[in-house]
Amino acid sequence: MNKKFSENVRTYLTYCFSNFLHEKGWLVFPGTMLIMAILLTVLSKDEMFVHYSETRNGLFCITCAAIWVGIFNSVQSVCAERGTIKHEHMDYGISLPAYVLAHILYELVLCLVEAGIIQGFMTVFFRNGLSSHPVSPVRLYVTLLLILLSSDTMGLLISGVVRTATTAMTVMPFVLIVQLVMAGVIFELDGTAKVISNLTVGKWGMTALCSCTAINDLERSQDFHNTVYQHYFAEYSTGTSHLIFLWLILILLAAVFSVLTMLSLRAVDRDKR
């Protein structure tokens, strides 16, 4: 059984990378570059990593971009192959967990490259602010990678639940809006909304990004509302143990999304196709 599982993983991993080369899957990389180029021209490069408020708003935009890129990586990957999956599962008994694992490993490779692209743009565009407020490149890279990966596995879950690529692209904007609203930056959340917020990549990704960039150490303008700073001070703590805790939450979200994707594919045999 273990041999069959590993063979299935290798087969589908090879298939994923074959599609990457022959079906222009590599276009996700220039797409990421374009998104970052457009986004960073909107942000103030003279204020980022200099003033607290502007940096927090900028990091929120970067978090949103990373979530969008991650979801877009995988949101059509499974639903586009449901017919093939059903056929191979029913006729050849392929392992659905192996199929999902192969996709996750493939998506991880994409996220490794995309995290480097996003960090590279940030380093170049905000070099003036980062020269006076240095940020650990390792911490920043790992944080971006985990935001991308957890978002990617969330996209994989959407793709596993819906049955067509059209439906996946219809659902995607609504999922993205929930992530942005529940990040706690646009609106102050309490009650049920705060509970839901704790289940989102947006909330934990934003918190981890603010923590790894030591946003609490930045200047605050005179007209800045100090309540915001005090409210988020503990969440944006720069302590290593705190940042690792945030990383583990993002990893946990990715793991939960992955397991739910595997469970969702159990229904593939009932597809009417």
**pLDDT (mean) for 120-135:** 90
Structural domain including 107 reads 2-270
Confirm if 39 and 65 have CB atoms less than 8 A apart.
yes
pLDDT higher at 182 or 249: 249
- Cα 121 to Cα 98: distance, rounded to the nearest angstrom: 35
pLDDT of residue 112: 96
Q: Is the pLDDT of residue 273 over 70?
A: no
The token duo for 64 is 């949103």
pLDDT of residue 20: 84
What does the mean pLDDT of the chain come to? Answer: 85
**DSSP labels, 175-211:** HHHHHHHTTSSSS---THHHHHHTT-HHHHHHHHHHH
The token duo for 37 is 């180029």
Q: Directed axis angle between helix 52-74 and helix 201-212, to 10°?
A: 130
Residues 48-102 have pLDDT tens digits of 898 888 888 899 999 999 999 999 998 888 777 766 665 555 555 677 888 889 9
Q: How many domains does the chain have?
A: 1
Which of 40-54, 119-133, 192-206 has the weakest average pLDDT?
Answer: 40-54
Which of 8-22, 33-47, 65-79, 185-199 has the weakest average pLDDT?
Answer: 185-199
For residue 238, the one-letter residue type is T
Percent over 90 (pLDDT), the chain: 38
The token duo for 183 is 């990040």
pLDDT of residue 84: 66
pLDDT band at 11 (very low <50, low <70, confident <90, very high): confident
User: Residues for the chain: how many in total?
Assistant: 273
pLDDT of residue 224: 57
Confirm if 158 and 172 have CB atoms less than 8 A apart.
yes
pLDDT of residue 269: 47
The token duo for 209 is 């990004």
Return the C-alpha torsion angle 112, 155, 67, 259, nearest 10. Answer: -70
Residues 128-173 have pLDDT tens digits of 888 888 899 999 999 999 999 999 999 999 988 888 888 888 888 8
The token duo for 4 is 């069959």
Q: Which residues pair with 51 in a beta bridge?
A: 219
Q: Is the pLDDT of residue 272 over 60?
A: no
Confirm if 229 and 220 have CB atoms less than 8 A apart.
yes
- Cα 46 to Cα 56: distance, rounded to the nearest angstrom: 14
Short-list 178, 7, 134, 140, CA closest to 62: 140
pLDDT higher at 271 or 63: 63
pLDDT band at 116 (very low <50, low <70, confident <90, very high): very high
- Cα 167 to Cα 75: distance, rounded to the nearest angstrom: 10
Measured in whole angstroms, the distance separating CA 102 from the mean position of its chain's CA atoms is 18
Residues 221-249 have pLDDT tens digits of 665 556 676 777 778 888 899 999 999 99
- Cα 189 to Cα 151: distance, rounded to the nearest angstrom: 21
- Cα 215 to Cα 21: distance, rounded to the nearest angstrom: 40
pLDDT of residue 235: 84
Confirm if 176 and 207 have CB atoms less than 8 A apart.
no
DSSP label at residue 267 = G
